[in-house]
Amino acid sequence: MALSFHTLSLEDRELILRYTRNADLQNCDLAFANLYAWQFLYQTEIAEWNGFLLFRFYADGHLAYLMPLGQGNWREVIEQMHQDACQLGHPLLILGVTEEMKHYIQGICSSKFVINPNREYADYIYLRESLATLAGKKLQPKRNHTNKFRRLYPDYEYRPLTRELIPLCLQLDEEWAAQKTVPGEQRAVESEKKAIRRALDHFEELGIIGGTLFVGGKLVAFTYGAPINDSTFDVCVEKADTAYEGAYAMINQEFVNHLPEQYRYINREEDLGIEGLRKAKLSYMPHQVLMKYSMWSSCSLQGKCACEVRSDDELHVEWQTRALWKLCFGDSDSFLDLFFSRKYQPQNNTFFRKDGKVVSALQRLPYRMSYAGLDVAVAYVAGASTLPEQRGRGLMTQLLAEAHECMYREGKVFSLLIPANEGLVDFYARPGYVCCQGVVENVNHLSVAPFSMSDISSTQLSEAACEEVVDFMEQMYRSMPAAVLHDKDDLQVVLQDLSDSGGRIWVARNDGNQRLCGVLFLMPQNKDWLIKECLAADSVVADGLKKAAQGELCPEKGLMDETFYTQIKVIRVSDALKLYARVHPEADFTLEVTGDLLAGDAAPAVYLVRNGQCSRLEQGAHADRSYTVEELPQLLFEHGGPYMRLMLN
């Protein structure tokens, strides 16, 4: 019998409690209040199967499951989960696996698992009595905090959380959130705000118990939680106004003292890898740090991620990179299927892992660039992404430096990118990317006879038609001073992107020989239509294509030209200057280049450009001109460019 999942709702509380109430499990993930409050983010679903309760959800864009709850045939339930994941096109990923269960699953399952410890998601579990009394020498600093709070605010008052106090709690949470301005924190803070509101909106139905702290009639702290089982209570949220010294320590102790005595253990959840939070949680001397693991098994479906030719680790990294891409950019599964089958290669993925999880990645996509008709090997940086909670820690700066070194070894002459927004231009300028100048377009590329136009679907292009479009595009690009070229795989990915977005394509053909003489790619944006690319044999064809498209799609408004920044970095200075010399045989000068760190020599280098060749001179030789590596594109692309359109930006 296949698994039948449904969206977790309030009506599932009693069902879940049947499995958790008497279970010897202390994971904070299993508190129903947590499951429900965060359902909007994780899209949590549940299913019963042969004595087990299963949880399915999305974590950082990746399909995942919690450890099953219940009793029965564990081998069979794990196999059911594996089949369910594969039917959805994902490998099986089980999160929240405890040390004991990790060894048990390994022993009973034939599937090979990749296991990673997730220290940042380990739960801190305390004895209730320890938190209530703060007894002993090791907790003396905590007693000092609470004693000082009592001295400073002798009129303080602890009140149980009631529905009437919820608006004040939400206001305090808003004030707390407003202070969180560090990049990477804001998404997490906004999600937590929504989860808190969702929990407190259903205060009674979720069985939440909470407490508040007042000073002079003002709310200065609140907390709440819910049972995990009959002996373990989970503290879900704790907020305090730090202007009141010791408020956190005080609400912590008061709340535990007011909890029902049946709860011997208090779970104060994870530290999320935040150094200060980890230090604070450890300072309360936990009874146990409940380690949790992720267990990943490769997908058995053929054709997914080329499982048959990649190692388990490569496949693991690929799926995590894909999930990270989807989380950060929101692209459709159909687009990602095409990209990761046609364009992705493990050797071109530069990534950073933390506790076995890919938290930052970028793709060094190999492209050809036409430079005055000469083919040049370049790398295009695509999919540069970092988990929101990991941003602001310099991970992408490290990745770019590593990627540039890889490009240098691979013989790439230039690195190109299109920043996702204007605010990133300065970020990419720090590792040496400069904005490209506009390309001076040539017109009247070909002699064009009368032509006709047609609108075609991006999904209706045959193999032969795709090849024809690619050939025409290359012909147009090679007529420019410098332009990035596209192959058929590139076009297929572009067409899928257009199809997913409701885009349209217009083509123009010569009436006599029926050859392509123009192509126009359009994509909707809000209520407008963007020109993604327009290539035509001359301006008459280009104008005709645009008028035809405008007449059908937006007769009262003009089409909009897509505008974006393009940036370039010189990777191999010597090879770039050799290209320049070949294209400019008349050039005769010496130039000094500084800042070529990738070549392994920080000292200035002097080159001679003469008779179509370029050679390096001895250090200290006279130079007619002087450039930094960042300034070289001004010389190399004096006519503008390189031209980049239909890129994965």
Question: CA nearest 503: which of 559, 558, 544, 581?
Answer: 559
Burial of 463 (0-12, 13-18, 19+ CB in 10 A): exposed
pLDDT, tens digit, 9 for 90 and up, residues 75-117 = 899 999 988 998 887 888 999 998 888 888 877 775 678 888 8
Cα–Cα distance, 420 to 178 (Å, whole number): 26
Between β-strands 625-628 and 588-594, what pairing exists: parallel, antiparallel or unpaired? parallel
* Confidence at residue 309, expressed as pLDDT on a 0 to 100 scale: 59
Cα–Cα distance, 356 to 385 (Å, whole number): 17
CA separation, residue 39 to residues 10, 29, 96, 227, 374 (Å): 11, 12, 16, 18, 55
Question: CA nearest 439: which of 645, 648, 627, 628?
Answer: 645
Cα–Cα distance, 632 to 636 (Å, whole number): 6
| Strands (DSSP E) found in 274-356 | 288-290, 292-297, 349-354
> 251, 221 in Cβ contact below 8 A?
yes
Mean pLDDT by runs of 10 across the 649 residues of the chain is: 91 95 89 96 95 94 91 91 87 90 78 83 96 95 95 96 97 91 75 96 96 97 96 96 95 96 96 90 96 78 47 82 89 85 92 89 96 95 91 92 96 94 91 81 49 64 86 94 92 86 89 89 89 92 91 88 90 96 96 90 89 93 94 91 85
Burial of 74 (0-12, 13-18, 19+ CB in 10 A): middle
Helices (H) and strands (E) in the chain, counts: 20, 31
Residue 332, φ and ψ in degrees, nearest 5: -70, 160
Cα–Cα distance, 476 to 1 (Å, whole number): 57
Longest dimension (CA), the chain: 95
> 447, 496 in Cβ contact below 8 A?
no
Peptide bond into 642 cis (omega under 30): yes
> 267, 33 in Cβ contact below 8 A?
no
Q: For residue 537, what are its two tokens?
A: 């044999």
Cα–Cα distance, 76 to 50 (Å, whole number): 9
Q: What share of the chain is helix, strand, coil (3-state, %, to 5)?
A: 40, 30, 30
* Confidence at residue 497, expressed as pLDDT on a 0 to 100 scale: 84
Global pTM reads 0.73
Residue 642, φ and ψ in degrees, nearest 5: -75, 150
Domains and CATH numbers, the chain: 6-121+292-297 (3.40.630.30), 123-284 (3.40.630.30), 451-561 (3.40.630.30), 572-636 (no CATH)
Cα-based angle 423, 632, 373 (whole degrees, multiple of 5):
100
Between β-strands 560-561 and 62-66, what pairing exists: parallel, antiparallel or unpaired? unpaired
- b vs e for 614-642, b when ≥16 Cβ sit within 10 Å of the residue's Cβ? beeeeeeeebeeebebbebbebbbeeebb
* Confidence at residue 469, expressed as pLDDT on a 0 to 100 scale: 92
Q: For residue 619, what are its two tokens?
A: 């250090």
Question: CA nearest 224: which of 216, 215, 236?
Answer: 236
Angle between helices 74-87 and 99-108 (to 10 degrees): 90
